[in-house]
Amino acid sequence: MKLEKRIYLVGSTHGSYRSRALLEYLAASPKYCYFHKDPRFLVSKNRTFFCRLLFEVLRTFDQILSLPALVISDVVYILPMSNLRFFERIVIRIFKKKVIGEFYISVYDTLVNDRKTVKKGSIKALKLLKSDQRFIDICEHVVFLNASEREYYLAIAERPKAIAKTTLIPLATSLKDKVNSSFANKQRDKVILCWWGTFIPLHGLDKIIESAVYLKKSGLNFSLYLFGTSEDLSKVYREKIEQLDLSDYVSIDNTKNFSDKSLDTFLIENCDIAFGNFGDSEKAKTVMINKIVEAASMTLPVVSQQTKALTEYFKDNESIYFCESHPQKIAERVLDITKGKQQMLIVAQGSFDLYVKHFSKKSYLHEIVKILDKVIK
């Protein structure tokens, strides 16, 4: 009987659709078996010194106990948003293990360049940069989401020559029900605008809210719904909405999410146009954010600033609506979109066609299995 190839998985599947899709495939595959531990299991919410010390000891002990599985594995697979631990790196180097890693984001770039919560050149910043470099160096195969992000992140990590060992596999998300498109189908006069995500500078949420001022002045019959994940982080945006006298037009809801289908349900039943990304950082003008693909999976048209990654797949007025990253320009683009209801349906369908071709579970697994088969010969 032929034995399955052993895959040692590193990282959490929580919040990552592509990670869960990979685990589901491996669990059902006759060719592979895998070893995986959820890193959240040994994390405590109790922040007392004794509790933190206890869980640190338990995590170290757990790392050591996991090493035999790493030693006998055929390949190590680092899941998105994850990285190797100290003992794992040592064993990989000693036993010359083959490593595949999904480079999803650079923590250095996020904290130093985008959010600016870590000072450039500081000891912490240098540690974060070193972490990105170690990730790229130890991998035999590095997966990036698109060519633009690959070029951007390799430059930041000072590893441009590593491009030879990279592969591009786009974002992936689950197929969702098709939105009702009540406005485009002339079943409702009010247009419902939606944004969802985390309250970080990357999204340029300030501009989306300010665009509502111009939409209000235009007389457009609209409502704007913002779906976030944190009451504390949303306070500044609630205050902005009140200061701009937009309370009758703009609302924030931090209770809905895709996990329990509550956000899906609202968007499918109500949303006509989704907002993408309008951030000012170099990262914001480079990457493709998740919500673009999530909207495409629902056949929902998106208006967003043009980014390098988006232009690799999406075309203006065919599968997305591009506009300048300025509140007035965003409002003008929305007004222009609402005048072409049939075109809204065409653009929405164009985005869904791209989803099926590039961003679906089937497309992701097709590409990732090719890499596994190549690395594990």
The mean pLDDT of 177-193, rounded to a whole number, is 97
Residue-wise pLDDT for 108-117, tens only, equals 999 999 889 9
The Cα–Cα gap between 207 and 323 comes to: 12
Residue 2 pLDDT exceeds 70: no
% of the chain exceeding 90 in pLDDT: 91
Write down all domains in the chain, each with its CATH number in brackets: 5-172+361-375 (3.40.50), 191-359 (3.40.50.2000)
3-state secondary structure at position 166: strand
Residue-wise pLDDT for 145-166, tens only, equals 999 999 999 999 999 999 999 9
Q: Which two tokens stand for residue 205?
A: 């949420």
For residue 1, what pLDDT band results from cuts at 50, 70 and 90? very low
What pLDDT, on the 0 to 100 scale, is given for residue 44? 84
3-state secondary structure at position 170: coil
Residue-wise pLDDT for 60-109, tens only, equals 999 899 999 999 999 999 999 999 999 999 999 999 999 999 999 999 99
Q: CA geometry: angle at 32 spanning 28 and 34, to 5°?
A: 90
For residue 377, what pLDDT band results from cuts at 50, 70 and 90? confident
Burial 307-316 (b: 16+ CB within 10 A, else e): bbbbebbbee
Closest CA to 335 of 166, 249, 211: 211
The mean pLDDT of 248-254, rounded to a whole number, is 98
What pLDDT, on the 0 to 100 scale, is given for residue 49? 87
Closest CA to 206 of 81, 326, 45, 362: 326
What pLDDT, on the 0 to 100 scale, is given for residue 376? 84
User: Is 199 in contact with 230 (CB distance < 8 Å)?
Assistant: yes
For residue 217, what pLDDT band results from cuts at 50, 70 and 90? very high
Question: Which pairing describes strands 321-322 and 250-253: parallel, antiparallel, or unpaired?
Answer: unpaired
Q: The pTM is what?
A: 0.93
| Backbone angles phi and psi of 322, in degrees to 5 | -90, 150
The mean pLDDT of 233-250, rounded to a whole number, is 97
